[in-house]
A and B are shown apart, each in its own frame.
Chain A
Amino acid sequence: MSSISQRAPLAEKAAEQLNKTVSHPETSVKNPTPRMELQKASPKLVTLDEAIRRSGLKDGMTISFHHHFRGGDKVVNLVVGRLAEMGFKDLHLAASSLSDVHAPLIEHIENGVITRISTSGLRGQLADRISRGLMKEPVIFRSHGGRGSAIASGDLHIDVAFLGASSADPLGNACGYSRSENAKSICGSLGYALPDAQYADKVVILTDDLVDYPNTPCSISERQVDYVVEIDSVGDSSKISSGAIRDSKNPRDILLAQKAAKVIINSGYFNDGFSIQTGTGGASLAAVKYIRQSMIDRGIKASFALGGITAHMVRLHEEGLIERLIDVQSFDKVAAESLKSDMMHKEVSANEYASADEPGSAVHYLDMVILSALEVDVNFNVNVLVGSDGIIRGAIGGHPDTAADSALSIIVCPLLRGRIPCVVDEVTTLITPGSSVDVIVTEYGIAVNPRRPELAGRLRAAGLDVTEITALRDKALSIIGTPAALPFGDRVVGVVMNRDGNVLDVIRNIAD
C-alpha cells in the first residue's frame, strides 16, 4: 500500500465518506504568464457598463455611494448618468451623504431613474427641489452610525455598491489614497464606504489610479470586491474641505470657539487621557486651536481624537498632544495624507465609529464632542438638517450619535445668523434630542441642560456666563422680532430615522 495507485481505493472510500470526489491534479495546467502581466487580465477588471451588467442590477434595486470627496465627488453623477443612459428605472440611491454637486440627480429623479433616496444630508439645488416636493417617496435621513447599523441589520439592504477609491489594484484592494506616482486624488479614510463594501451583494470599485497588485495596506480588501473599473477621476480632492467645513476667520466664530474652549477646560472632563471630537462648522473646528495651550500648560494629553479628522487634530497629534487619531472621514488633505502615512492615525468604519448597537464603537468612549447647529430649542433639541426657512440644507452626520454616547456634548452656535434665530422655542426638525445635549455655547451666554447641574456649577465657578436657555431665546426675539410661521404643505418629503432604527421626526414640504 505504499504507492499512490495502490492507495487509490482507500482515497475513493475516504472521499465517499466525506461526500467528496477524488481530485486528479495531474490534469490541471499551470499558468506560466509573468504575474505583472497576469494581473492585468484580472477577471474583475471591467468597464463601468460591464460591471453594471454583470452585477445583476435590476430596476427597483438599491445602489450605494460614499461621500468622502464631499463637494468634489464625481462618482455619483457618473454612475447614475450611465445607469440612466442604460435605461434603468426606479432605483433606490443610498448614499452616505449628498451635496451641492449632486444637482444633476434632479433630472434623474424627474425621469424616474431614481425614485427613492437614503442619505445623511442634502444641500443645494437638489435639497431645495426635494424640500418643495420633487419626490413621491420621502427621503430617508440617517445619522452615520444609524446608517452603519441599518446596513448591518439589513434595514438598508444594498444590492450594488459603487465605491470611488483613490487607488485600487486589479483584484480590488482599494484605498482613499495612492502610494503610486500617478496618484490623481486623495480622500483619506473610506470609513463610510466600509459597511457598503462589507454588506452589499455586489461591490464595484471605481478608481482613477489603477496600481499594481498588491495595493497594501488597503482599506477595502479584494475579498469584498467583485469588479474594478478604471475611470478618469473619482473626485476633486481640493473640494474635500468644502461644504460644511470651514476654517473660520470670522471674529464671531473665533469668539465662540474661545468660549467653547473655556467650557471644555472647565468641564471636569479635561483630564489626562481624555478623548475629543469636533463636528463641522467654523467655531467647533476652531475650538481645538484654543485648548492646545491649556493642554501644554497643564501637561494634559488626549488619548484619542475621533471623527472627521482635520489638520488641527493632525497638528496636535504630531506635537504629541493627542496619542491616536480615529478617522471615519478625513476633512482635509492634511488629514488624508496623515492617514496614509501615520500608523497611529487609524481608519474606522461608520459602525466602529458611531453605531449605537456596536458596543465597541468609538463614540461610546468619547469624553467630549463639540458640535454646531442650525437651531437649538429651549428643550435643548438640535436641528442640523433643515433651515429655518423649511428648506433642507444640511446633514445629520454623526451629530446624534456623538451627542448621545459621549460624556459631554457641547453645541456651539451663534444666537442669530443674519436675522435667523438659532435659539428658538421649538426646532424646525428634530435631529438630536435634548436628552443627549449638555451645553449650548452662544456669544450671548452659555446654557447648561438642567439635567447637568454639576456641570453648570463648574462652569459658573470658572466665571463663565452661564444663563438660562429661555433667556437666550428671549434675547434673540428681542433683536429680530417674531418670525412668521413657515408655509409648510401637507406632504412628507423626508423621514428622520433615530439611530436606533426607529422614526424620530418627519419633514414636510415647503409650499411656494
Chain B
Amino acid sequence: MQLKESFAGTLESGDIHVRLMPSPTPGLTIHLESSVACQFGDQIRRVIAETLAELGIDSAEVNATDKGALDCTIRARVTAAAVRATGKDVWAD
C-alpha cells in the first residue's frame, strides 16, 4: 500500500504521537519512545503492529512518542495516522 508521510496524536500526557512513513525496506520498523517503556514497551509495540496489520499495512516506518497512552488511544492515533497516510477513510467504510 502506498503511504505518504503523516502523523496523528500529541505529546500531551496520556496521549501518543504517531508518525507513519513509507519504509525503504519491506516489513514494519517501530521506533518507540515511551515514558512507560519499562513496563509497557512491548505491549505498545504489539498494539501498533496489530492495528496496522488490521488496516492492511505491513510495510512502514513508525516513529512513536508515547506519554502513557492507553491501548484504545494508541489504536485511535495509529488508525488516524494510517488514514492520513493512505487516504483511505476506514471510518467511512
B39: chain A residues at CB < 8 Å are 388-389, 419-420, 483-484, 486
Interface of A is mostly: loop
Closest to B34 in A: A419
Give complex CA distance A462, B2 in Å.
Answer: 60
A418: chain B residues at CB < 8 Å are 13-14, 35-36, 67-69
The digit string for B44-81, where 1 denotes a CB below 8 A from any CB of A, is 00000000000000000000000111110000000000
The one of A390, A417, A479 in contact with B38, judged by C-beta atoms closer than 8 angstroms, is A390
Find out whether the CB atom of A419 lies under 8 angstroms from the CB atom of B68: yes
Give complex CA distance A60, B29 in Å.
Answer: 53
B10: chain A residues at CB < 8 Å are none
Closest to A418 in B: B68
Find out whether the CB atom of B13 lies under 8 angstroms from the CB atom of A486: no
A388: chain B residues at CB < 8 Å are 39
A481: chain B residues at CB < 8 Å are 40, 43, 71
Query: B93: CB under 8 A from chain A?
Result: no
Find out whether the CB atom of B42 lies under 8 angstroms from the CB atom of A479: no
Closest to A419 in B: B68
Give complex CA distance A320, B81 in Å.
Answer: 57
Question: How many chain A residues touch the partner (CB < 8 A)?
Answer: 14
A486: chain B residues at CB < 8 Å are 38-39
B43: chain A residues at CB < 8 Å are 481, 484
User: Which of B38, B40, B69 is most buried by chain A, counting CB atoms within 10 A of its CB?
Assistant: B38
Count contacts between A and B, CB distance < 8 Å. 42
Find out whether the CB atom of A480 lies under 8 angstroms from the CB atom of B70: yes
A43: chain B residues at CB < 8 Å are none
Knowing A420-B68, A480-B70, say if A389 contacts B36 (CB, 8 Å).
Answer: yes
A268: chain B residues at CB < 8 Å are none
A480: chain B residues at CB < 8 Å are 40, 70-71
Give complex CA distance A390, B37 in Å.
Answer: 12
B14: chain A residues at CB < 8 Å are 418-419
Q: Would you give the shortest CB distance from B28 to chain A, in whole angstroms?
A: 21
Closest to B14 in A: A418
> A481-B40, A487-B38 provided; 4 other pairs, C-beta below 8 A?
A389-B36, A418-B35, A480-B40, A484-B38
5 tightest A-B CB contacts, nearest first = A418-B68, A483-B39, A419-B68, A418-B14, A419-B36
Interface residues of A (CB under 8 A from B): 388-390, 417-420, 479-481, 483-484, 486-487
Question: Can you pick out 13 interface pairs between chain A and chain B where the beta carbons lie within 8 Å of each other?
Answer: A389-B36, A418-B35, A418-B67, A419-B14, A419-B70, A420-B36, A480-B40, A481-B40, A481-B43, A483-B36, A484-B42, A486-B39, A487-B38
